[in-house]
Amino acid sequence: QVQLVESGGGLVQAGDSLRLSCVVSGRASTGYAMGWFRQSLGKEREFVAAVSRTRDDRYYKDSVKGRFTISRDDANNRVFLQMDRLKPEDTAVYYCAAADTYLSRQRAGYDYWGKGILVTVSS
């Protein structure tokens, strides 16, 4: 059984940085394309960033391009989301996800999900 566990969230001020981490267990992370999604209060879960198995391709939500960076450390079965110049509108629960097949921006493209971690950005 594949499990994903996020860490690194918290309360920060606008302009600060946070680094989210997701550890994959049950199977090597090299088997998956990995993504981050987020869900803010009253809204649907939305795509944030994704990285292919080989790191050759990365996708980002337009509003986070240039501020967020997704990376992966397969030696340690981890994926990261470096978030810089955070804004209040980045406040959400952030979810790590793994895809058995191909890199995707769609929720339906992911097979495994973490439970999420809260990021709060105050103004």
Residue 118 has pLDDT above 90, yes or no: yes
- Is the model's pLDDT at 27 over the cut of 90? no
pLDDT, residue 28, reads 84
* SS3 track for the chain: CCEEEEECCEEEECCCCEEEEEEEECCCHHHCEEEEEEECCCCCCEEEEEECCCCCCEEECHHHCCCEEEEEEHHHCEEEEEECCCCHHHCEEEEEEEECCCCCCCHHHCCEECCCEEEEEEC
85-114 confidence digits (pLDDT tens): 999 999 999 999 999 988 999 999 999 999
pLDDT band at 34 (very low <50, low <70, confident <90, very high): very high
Instruction: Specify the pLDDT at position 101.
Output: 83
Give yes or no for residue 31 having a pLDDT over 90.
no
